[in-house]
Homo-oligomer: A and B are copies of this chain.
Amino acid sequence: KGKNVIFVAGLGDIGLDTSKELLTRELKNLVILDVRENTEGLCALKEICPETKVTFIKYDVTVPLDESKKVLKKIFDKLKTVDILINGAGILDDHKIEATIAVNYTGLVNTTTAIMEFWDKRCGGPGGIICNIGSVTGFNAIYQVPVYSGSKAAVVNFTSSLAKLAGITGVTAYSVNPGITRTTLVQKFNSWLDVEPDVAELLLEHPTQSTKECAENFVKAIEKNKNGGLW
> Which residues of A are at the interface with B, using a C-beta cutoff of 8 A?
65, 97-98, 101, 105-106, 109-110, 113, 116, 120, 137-138, 141-147, 149-158, 160-162, 164-165, 168-169, 192-193, 195-196
Contact = CB atoms under 8 A, between A and B. Distances in A.
A63 to B, nearest CB: 11
A147 to B, nearest CB: 6
B161 A149 contact: yes
Given A101-B106, A149-B158, A168-B195, 7 more contacts: A105-B105, A109-B146, A138-B153, A144-B165, A147-B158, A149-B157, A153-B153
Given A109-B97, A113-B193, A150 B154 contact: yes
B169 A141 contact: no
A109 B110 CA distance: 21
A165 B97 contact: no
Given A150-B105, A162-B146, A157 B141 contact: yes
